[in-house]
Homo-oligomer: A and B are copies of this chain.
Amino acid sequence: VAEVPAECVIGVDLGGTKAIAGAVDASLAVHYRGRREVPTSDLEALLETLTELVEEVREAVGGEVEGVGFGIPCLIDQDRGLAASSVHLPINGVAFADVMAERVGLPVFMDNDGNLALLAEQRAGAAHGERNAVMLTLGTGIAGGIVIGGELYRGSQGAAGEFGHMIVWADGPACGPGCRSRGCLETLVSGTALSREALALASRSPASRLGQALAAGREVSGPLVTELAFDGDGDALALLEELGTWLGIGLVNVVNIFNPDVVVIGGGVIAAGELILAPARRVLAERALAFPAEHVRVEAAHFGAESGMLGAALFARERLGERVRA
């Protein structure tokens, strides 16, 4: 008989500004990738964009798809199956998985995006097989995930792991919409923070390379900073060093609180790699309690920017398996 390809599930990582989707088989091989900018103020437009994205991926692999997993940037009300509180998207109070299941005609499962990124890393990536792990996903904001005893810890209402809203500078910068606090980690360590600082530098130093890029009409944000830093630009390197130093403060807290085996750093910002991880590790070594700090590994996400998408697929596959066994 001819070899039948393993059945795929679709994983979708919904971020604060874009969604990436993949058709993923049981070995975590990705057979097709799709990507969309997402509408961030209109719920109907957002749901329509996501439906189109799922359909595109499904058709690309011949329609044979068992289910869809979504990682969403949102606290999840597990008891009621609702998206409970999103800082970035207009999905508060929406029965997101049920609504999407009806639209795409497939079983749909949802969890917090940070949880699912860590699920992928713990099942098959940088935290593979570790009992206790934490992940920070640095994107528009910070998504977080916690593994305790080898399983995701979601908190009493599915809202745990919001490391982006850990206060590290009590009187620091005001946080974004949906948060009423100041000096949250994500005001200092995120793509948004990096863009803000890069734009400020470009504006006050027109002769700098960032300033020249701004004048030339380029988008002054994280990817440009990382590109210039790898090219040796001192300003860009300093911006990443500053971000990495603040990341290190966050790691001190994570390590002193969780005494984990590993902390995984993912998301788009981690494209800068050691340029932010080296200063972060230095601060961790200098300021964390020595005993847990000596033990912990701090690693870039093995799956890079795809942890969330792969984790969403893994989650859907695990949940489908539970249904079959039940």
Which residues of A are at the interface with B, using a C-beta cutoff of 8 A? 75, 77, 84-85, 131-132, 144, 146, 148-149, 153-163, 165-171, 179-182, 246, 249, 252-253, 256-261, 286-292, 295
A292 to B76, CA, bound (A): 11
Known: A77-B291, A287-B167, A289-B179. A259 touches B84 (CB 8 A): no
Residues of B within 8 A of A132 (CB): 155-156
B295 engages A259 (CB within 8 Å): no
Residues of B within 8 A of A155 (CB): 132, 258-260, 292
Shortest Cβ gap from A126 to chain B (Å): 16
A249 engages B166 (CB within 8 Å): no
Given A166-B253, A167-B287, 15 new contacts (CB under 8 A): A75-B291, A85-B291, A132-B156, A144-B257, A148-B148, A155-B260, A156-B260, A157-B292, A160-B258, A161-B257, A162-B257, A165-B289, A181-B286, A181-B287, A253-B253
In the complex, which residue of chain B has the Cβ closest to the Cβ of A134? Answer: B257
B167 engages A253 (CB within 8 Å): yes
A153 to B132, CA, bound (A): 10
Known: A148-B148, A165-B256, A167-B252. A286 touches B180 (CB 8 A): yes
Interchain residue pairs with CB less than 8 A apart (26) = A77-B291, A85-B291, A132-B156, A146-B257, A148-B148, A148-B153, A154-B259, A155-B258, A155-B260, A158-B259, A159-B259, A160-B257, A161-B257, A162-B289, A163-B256, A165-B252, A165-B289, A167-B249, A167-B253, A168-B168, A170-B246, A170-B249, A180-B287, A181-B286, A181-B287, A253-B253
A163 to B148, CA, bound (A): 18
A295 engages B156 (CB within 8 Å): yes
Residues of B within 8 A of A287 (CB): 167, 180-182
A168, A169, A180, A289: residue with the most chain B Cβ atoms closer than 10 Å: A289
